[in-house]
Amino acid sequence: MSEQQSAPEQLAAGKSQGGAGATYKVVLFEFENFQGRKAEFSAECKDVSEKGLEKVGSVLVESGPWVGYDRQGFAGEQFVLEKGEYPRWDTWTNSQYSYSFWSMRPLKVDSAEHKLHLFESPGFTGKKMEIVDDDVPSLWGHGFQDRVASVKALNGTWVGYMYPGYRGRQYVFERGDFKHWNDWDSPAPQIQSVRRVRDMQWHKRGILNIFTSANN
């Protein structure tokens, strides 16, 4: 249900405890700084306008994580939303391509462990980079160029960024195989930084490995 709301402190009681088995909850506000009409969600929504919102100006994630989209039906540019407050659009994205927020769904964090394989060519071929339980603000800094044409997310959920420092368009990698950059809705095989999407209770030292072939 939608209603007028002016501050996040006035949200309904009963916050999730997070972790395994936790429920998801996010609140969208019509205007910046948690002002105006609001709508609460605990499951995916293909079109937020169906909940009475003409636009989204701020977001409060009570429990997550979530991924938002700039188009209806889980399409278009992606925005990863972890637990916290997002008082205006540029706090959930630094991409300059879109100001819209029209659909969203929960992201499943299936494991405390994280392992990701990046490949420079489609079909899991060419130079390979393995990332284990770590965030990488610059692939260049570890000897891997910005061309990423296929991905294997072996454990955990990840988000890749077009530019270093977790900037630019975002691409979500849930557990599975992505044989071509079209599989993650990218217009080009360009990723320059990646990080884990995780519960903040897990903090582990990471491992990076660079391979010259695509052997697993």
Residue 203 contacts by C-beta under 8 Å, 6 or more apart in sequence?
Answer: none
Quick check: 197 and 157 in contact, CB under 8 A?
Answer: yes
pLDDT interval class at 10 (50, 70, 90): very low
Q: How far is CA 156 from the centre of its chain?
A: 12
Quick check: 177 and 152 in contact, CB under 8 A?
Answer: yes
CA atoms of 133 and 151, how far apart (whole Å): 16
Could you please state the CATH topology (level 3) that the domain comprising 25-106 is classified under: Gamma-B Crystallin; domain 1 (2.60.20)
In this structure, are strands 157-163 and 167-173 parallel, antiparallel, or unpaired?
antiparallel
Half-sphere exposure of 83 (CA within 13 A, CB side): 17
Tokens of 60: 């409060």
Residue ranges of the chain assigned to CATH 2.60.20.10: 25-106, 115-198
Q: What single letter denotes the amino acid at residue 52?
A: G
pLDDT digits (tens, 9 = 90+) for 157-203: 999 999 999 999 999 999 999 999 999 999 999 999 999 997 543 33
pLDDT at 141: 87
Lowest average pLDDT, out of 2-6, 111-115, 177-181, 206-210, goes to 2-6
On the question of pLDDT at 71 being above 70, the answer is yes
Residue 113 contacts by C-beta under 8 Å, 6 or more apart in sequence?
Answer: 133, 155, 156
Write out 80-108 in H/E/C secondary structure: EECCEEECCHHHCCCCCCCCCCCEEEECC
Domain 115-198 listed as CATH 1.10.357.10? no
pTM: 0.80
Measured CA to CA in angstroms, residue 85 lies from 63, 71, 123 at distances of: 11, 22, 38
pLDDT interval class at 120 (50, 70, 90): very high
Furthest-apart CA atoms within the chain: distance in Å: 57
pLDDT digits (tens, 9 = 90+) for 135-166: 999 999 888 888 999 999 999 999 999 999 99
How many other CB atoms sit within 10 Å of the CB of residue 27? 18
pLDDT at 146: 83
Report which of 186, 180, 188, 192 is spatially closest to residue 151, judged by C-alpha positions: 180
